[in-house]
Chain A
């Protein structure tokens, strides 16, 4: 056991030191120079959520019929924000840290991971704020909350995978950042995040059939799982209660693992060249 921790420390100790340093720096710099400082990390989502709550919940009356829908909405949007932030910052991170990579040798996947950890911290704070809203909305919590960490791990894995793939491409082709902007919009509207899935299903016919397929997207699947397990077990359609075929249920997970494997593979294959190509 001792030798195992020692071996792990030898292998990843350096990477962890660098990661800690970079994450700390990023976090420190994020609210640098602002009057309220770190308080913004809680204040900002709080205020944004208030705006969204009023616009979507009260003004547009977007709802699936349950009183908790506004909170469900916030949860979905903050989860999706995590994905866009991780990929958006992550894909630029290699190039942005170029001056560093050209001067010191360190495992360069760390810069992508540090970007994702930064987003993960925001996600944690956002979830806390959602929790506050949920308490006000009298949400019923169940034992399913225990699944939440696993769902978040899946969401993290899929975001990191996309970030790794795009970061690698971005070193060679700066077009990727624009492509991602468009692509992320497309993905966003292909998922039941600002609209309830029941909206689409109710239209019937071909739409209903397509709507089910939306859940095969691992991002949609994990966000729906997060909603389902965290605050709204009754109203949220998930892959578990929509599909019966075990293959369909397995599909998003297989895709996540495949993408993550591909991301790591393509990143590792090219990472030696990053310092030269940039």
Chain B
């Protein structure tokens, strides 16, 4: 390899100068399709039946269509795409696990794939034996693995466990070991699939350091498939967005990341409208989960973009159809999808609707309180409970696709807690302050409930 000459001109490869480097991975008009069996059985009998009947017994599904791109030496190349878009297939083609139907893939140098977790690990072998076996599979001789063994173990932080059998490892340890083998193996091209979710926070930070350093190494080339736009923006020299088996965009990472996020939200909306269209065609006899003949339509949907910062206000609409003469209310609950629980609820008798029939009403919700999160708005249509001033009965609830999901993303925010630190903070006080204030509170409670003495809990 010409790696020595490359070292001399130690320049970081970026979007401006990548073309000066030699092409190390050349994907040329690659087309790939899979045969999906239409019958479950894969036996001689089925094959014979298919043959006598003259049916193929499978369906051809085209996964990649005429994909062409080149990766130059030293690049950090990102591939994004929705699930089922053909990314993993492309990666397997690059790693020569699959072969293209048409076109060619040319790899110059030693390629190390990390495609699914735990590449060929054997649970009955020790960590050490697994490293050597794995190295052999990747094409490294015993001596070569000897040279990189310490590095691998150190990176995986498993020094004390290498003589344990792999089946005694936790799943996190196994993944860490597999990942360390992949990245510490001295290959020329590293092919990584969805690896940024590996390990705990400390290990992730280490990976982050590693990626940052490998970015600067002009001899190492990385091809990374990910859903994490942050990773694309942090590491990649260039990126590519694959949609429905075709290259949708290829070029600088910002453009690709934008197109990807947009495509995701578009797809989500398209899915919902398609589903509703289908339901319409199937006739109105069948109501979606939570709705009935009394309230055939109840739907919450976003008007604002579905991804907002904490400074924004989310505006959304509720479409309903209710024709009974009595009074009715809408109640809207905000569910926190990731953390769980109900973040907020309007209360049953707060939003009284004035118009009966098929109507759309609009609302807004300020987001300044929240940290990053994914929220779902679930609306219910309610009528007063006879004989109870405060309660209502739900007539219809907008669940599943009728609920509206939105996302808060803000660089100032954290992911962990629900409420951000700008809106709420815990202040440190002295013991004296704590005691006097608590005393006052107790007195106040005492005075409020005077006449009905109750046992007090006195802190130590």
Say whether A and B bind each other: yes
Contacts of B245 in A (CB 8 A): none
From B43, B115, B129, B139, name the one whose CB has the most chain A CB atoms within 10 angstroms: B139
Asked, given contacts A17-B139, A20-B136, A21-B137, whether A103 binds B43 with beta carbons under 8 Å apart, the answer is: no
Given contacts A18-B137, A99-B120, A174-B43, contact A105 B95 (CB under 8 A): yes
What is the chain B residue whose CB lies nearest that of A272?
B99
A142 within 8 A of B: no
| Inter-chain contact A175/B115, CB cutoff 8 Å | no
Q: Kindly state whether residue B249 has any CB partner on chain A within 8 Å.
A: no
Chain A residues whose CB sits within 8 angstroms of the CB of B138 once the complex forms? 104
Out of B42, B45, B115, B129, name the residue touching A103 (CB < 8 Å): B115
Stretch at the interface among A25-33, A55-63, A153-161, A207-215: A25-33
CA distance A272 to B139 in the complex (A): 19
Does the CB pair A105–B42 fall under 8 Å? Answer: no
Contact between B141 and A17 (Cβ–Cβ < 8 Å)? yes
A3 to B363, CA, bound (A): 79
In the bound complex, do residue A25 and residue B119 qualify as a contact, i.e. CB atoms below 8 Å apart? no
Residue of B nearest to A102 (CB): B97
Interface membership of A100, Cβ < 8 A: yes
A14-B139, A25-B122, A29-B122 as given contacts; A102 in contact with B116, CB under 8 Å: yes
Closest chain-A Cβ to B143's Cβ sits at a distance in Å of 11
Residue of A nearest to B165 (CB): A32
Task: Tell whether A32 pairs with B43 under 8 Å between CB atoms, given A18-B137, A103-B113, A275-B97.
Answer: no
Given contacts A103-B113, A104-B113, contact A173 B44 (CB under 8 A): yes
| Structural contact, A21 and B132, CB atoms closer than 8 A | yes
Instruction: Decide: A28 near B129, CB < 8 A? Known: A100-B120, A102-B116.
Output: yes
Q: Assess A105 versus B96: contact at CB under 8 Å? Given A21-B132, A173-B44.
A: yes
**Among the listed A14, A24, A173, A272, which residue makes an inter-chain contact with B42, where contact means beta carbons less than 8 Å apart?**
A173
Are A276's CB and B98's CB within 8 A? yes
Residues of chain B from 349 to 393 with CB closer than 8 A to chain A in the complex: none
Contacts of B97 in A (CB 8 A): 101-105, 275
- Whole-angstrom CA separation of A20 from B133 in the bound complex: 9
Judge whether A265 is part of the interface by a CB distance below 8 angstroms: no
Q: Which residue of A lies closest to B34 (CB)?
A: A276
Q: Give the chain B neighbours of A25 by CB distance below 8 A.
A: 122, 125, 129, 133
Check if A40 is an interface residue, CB within 8 A of chain B: no
- Answer yes or no: A106 CB below 8 A from chain B CBs: yes
Asked if B82 is an interface residue, CB under 8 A from chain A, the answer is no
Interface size class on chain B is: 20 to 34
Q: Is there a chain B Cβ closer than 8 Å to A172's Cβ?
A: yes
CB distance from B178 to the nearest CB of A (A): 10
| Known contacts A99-B120, A275-B92; A28 and B125 CB within 8 A of each other | yes
Q: Is B403 an interface residue (CB 8 A)?
A: no
Residues of B near A104 (CB, < 8 A) are 95, 97, 113, 119-120, 137-138
Interface residues of B in 76-94 (CB under 8 A from A): 92
Kindly identify, within residues 119 to 155 of chain B, every residue whose CB is under 8 Å from any CB belonging to chain A.
119-120, 122, 124-125, 129, 132-133, 136-142
Is the CB of B307 closer than 8 A to any CB of chain A?
A: no
Nearest A residue to B114, CB-CB: A103
- If A25-B133, A104-B137, A105-B96 touch, whether A173 touches B43 (CB-CB below 8 Å) is yes
Do A173 and B47 contact each other (CB < 8 Å), given the known contacts A103-B97, A103-B115?
yes
Per the bound structure, the CA–CA distance linking A103 and B95 in Å amounts to 9
Instruction: Contact check, B113 vs A105: say whether CB atoms are below 8 A apart.
Output: yes
Smallest Cβ-Cβ distance to A278: which chain B residue: B42
- Give the residues in chain A near B43, CB-CB below 8 Å: 173-175
Residues facing B in A168-192 (CB within 8 A) are: 172-175
Which A residues from 18 to 53 make CB contacts under 8 A with B?
Answer: 18, 20-22, 24-25, 28-29, 32
B98 touches A100 (CB 8 A): no
The residue of chain A having its C-beta at the shortest distance from the C-beta of B142 within the complex is A17
**Contact residue among A32, A102, A275 (Cβ-Cβ distance under 8 Å from B124):** A32
Q: A106-B139, A276-B34, A276-B98 are in contact. List 6 more A-B contacts (CB 8 A).
A: A18-B139, A25-B133, A104-B119, A105-B97, A173-B42, A272-B99
Q: Which 6 A/B pairs are nearest by Cβ-Cβ distance?
A: A21-B136, A105-B96, A100-B120, A175-B44, A272-B99, A103-B119
A-B contact pairs, 15 of them (CB 8 A): A13-B141, A21-B137, A25-B125, A25-B133, A28-B129, A102-B97, A102-B115, A103-B97, A103-B116, A105-B97, A172-B47, A173-B47, A175-B43, A273-B99, A276-B98
A interface residues with partner B (beta carbon < 8 Å):
13-14, 17-18, 20-22, 24-25, 28-29, 32, 99-106, 172-175, 272-273, 275-276
Q: Which residues of B contact A (CB under 8 A)?
A: 34, 42-45, 47, 92, 95-99, 111, 113, 115-116, 119-120, 122, 124-125, 129, 132-133, 136-142
